[in-house]
Structure 1
Amino acid sequence: MYYNNGIPVYRTIKEIKPFFEYTKVSEVYWERPVPEIVKIRDGELSVVLIHGIDPMEVNGSWTLYKEYFVNTWNSLLPKNCGLYIFIYPTLDVPLEETAKILVDEIIKLNKKVNIYAHSMGGILLRYVLQNEEFREFVNKIIFAGTPHLGTPLANFVVLDKSVLKFHPKWDIIKTVILMANTAWVFIDAPNYKYLTFGFEKPEIPENINFMNFAAKINANTSSIVKNLINTDFFSSIALQILESTIKIIYPKDSDFTQNDGMVPLFSATYYGNEKVFEGFDHADLAISETIVKEAIKYFFGE
């Protein structure tokens, strides 16, 4: 943890070459979450949730993000349906290793499940789907806000900042990186490499029954206010700021400017078969009642 005159300015789980001013640095020890499927409730027809990268897991494995994710699904899922969530260390344990554990956990459940994978959870799932035995236990899948091709924000996180300093809009990029870090939008960690453009990931095998859920932030005031009221206020504010910043950094005709505040629309919908939620953001894909209700319809019908 880096401080500047007593104020935290940057969090990282690995040693970095600071690109900002600081007066003090301290080390905090943390325990990685144990990878396991956690049962929320029993049921004949089940949904397994897979969360995305979680910068706040350094404070404990059961974060507000995971609580909101589970609580929204638990309140809307029909009572005869089971609900599980796969908890795993997201920041520095390679997804290839975590995928092996998820395979074992699903096989132990020994029943067909529907899977709702949010953000990097969808990238993890792409690794897991390479296992033929695992695929036998999968009914339907929703990739929600999964950066199939990557996201430019992750590239800013992992790139050498001494190189970024030559970017014509470095001052803006630096401000956004520091702001997003202190707001817990991200923590500097190795696994952001999986979310970058250019990082090779396994393909989705044929004959997988899946859909892509994607969100696109709208600039109109009523849409923004509605989203702030109906979902998590602080995450919505942060994602609105990131979305506005992307429009400043990239030209208007860039593919990056249509996004959910975190993932470009073309990346989240790359494999087609998509449903796009206008006026929603990246966090909403995990916690919005509107979106979760649509997911339940896809899994179980009307």
Structure 2
Amino acid sequence: MTTTVPIVRQRGWARTFIRNPAGVFGLVTTVALVSCALLSIVWTPYDPVHTDVLSKWHPPSSAHLLGTDNIGRDIFSVLLAGSRVTLQVAVGSALVAAVVGVVFAALGSLTARWFREIIAVLIDILIAFPTLLIAMMLASALGGSIMVVIVAVGISFGVNVGRVSRPEIRRVSRSEFVTAGIAAGLGPVRNLTRHTLPNVAPVFIVQLSWCMAVAVLAETGLSYLGYGAPVSTPSWGRVLAELQSYIGIHPLSVVWPGLAITITVLGFNLLGDGLRDATDPRLGRPEVITA
């Protein structure tokens, strides 16, 4: 007589992520943003910076999918080209935040106790400054540009990444395989890159996906205030700032950039939530199989 024995095991993080509708929506939104940015490099229906006062305020039609704005630009072309700026700011800020976060987390967990306490105080001081305030201070000193936004958001969020990742790095650094690496003669830097960071990568990935959402909002706010992208550069925040005064007359012209910003930020946030749920073993759902 054959007996079927149920076996319980944890699902892989990829399967768990795919079963999360919110995470899948975030992934689809991110892929769509990347696709639009790449497409805008080689094609847009119209020149996104070309103005024609004789063609202003055209309603949505087959010729102008989303209509035209107050100076005759095709809104769809402007938003398509503006996706490049959004993607540059999101990815650039995440990369800067990753570097800053790794440095702060490593210094705050793998150094001498007195130095760790100094790093902890420094992190608390830096966290007290809002991202937009840091960006506005840098922009007033260096001039408004995309790079200023990337550096400001990257540094501000990188400090948060370091604070969140520091306990995880300390936990992993005390593991047996890390101790074995030290005993085998691996130096601190090589041990960090070979053993410690790969094991805390899920924490970094989740935090950086949220950083991308914050970066999009920061770029929008700074461009709205005149500190972000230059006037000659298509940007969702700048378009929103230019058209908001016409919201009572042509509300749809403001809806499109606002909708693009909202969906993108929501997508990055949901992607981060989905990755967190999929990679956190405490939230993993068991899968029952028979053998």
Q: TM-score, normalised by structure 1?
A: 0.22
The higher radius of gyration belongs to: 2
- Structure number with the higher helix fraction is 2
